[in-house]
Amino acid sequence: MHGLLVDDQTRCEHYQGPLDVIALKFACCGKWYPCHLCHAERADHETRQWSTKDRAMQAVLCGVCGSLLRIDAYLETSECPTCAAGFNPGCRLHHDLYFD
């Protein structure tokens, strides 16, 4: 996991709330980061979004149970389908940074 001060449930320096428990595999580099700010601060390249044709990719990690989610499944839920951990609804405000 790449990022700043990442805990065992993928919370980082930027997002530390109880529901901030996902990490994303970035399309541009294939590396896992807890948020777009961590990527911007640590990566040496620009972010590239996952295209709509890549929605079947497993690119979301539940930090509570470690399950991998397909992008389309993540975009359609508010909790982990495996462990029922809630995901931060505010993350939807940033979906355009990660997904086309």
Instruction: Report the domain count for the chain.
Output: 1
Distance separating alpha carbons of residues 2 and 33, to the nearest angstrom: 5
Contacts of 31 (CB under 8 A, 6+ apart): 2, 25, 43
For the stretch 40-69, pLDDT in tens is 999 999 999 999 999 999 999 999 999 999
- What residue numbers bound the domain in which 43 lies? 22-98
Q: Is residue 59 part of a domain?
A: yes
Is the pLDDT reported for residue 1 higher than 90?
A: no
Q: Is residue 77 part of a domain?
A: yes
Residue 18 vs residues 4, 9, 69, 94, 95: alpha-carbon distances, Å: 17, 10, 19, 18, 19
Angle at 42 between CA 49 and CA 20, to 5 degrees: 65
Q: In terms of pTM, does the model score above 0.95? A: no
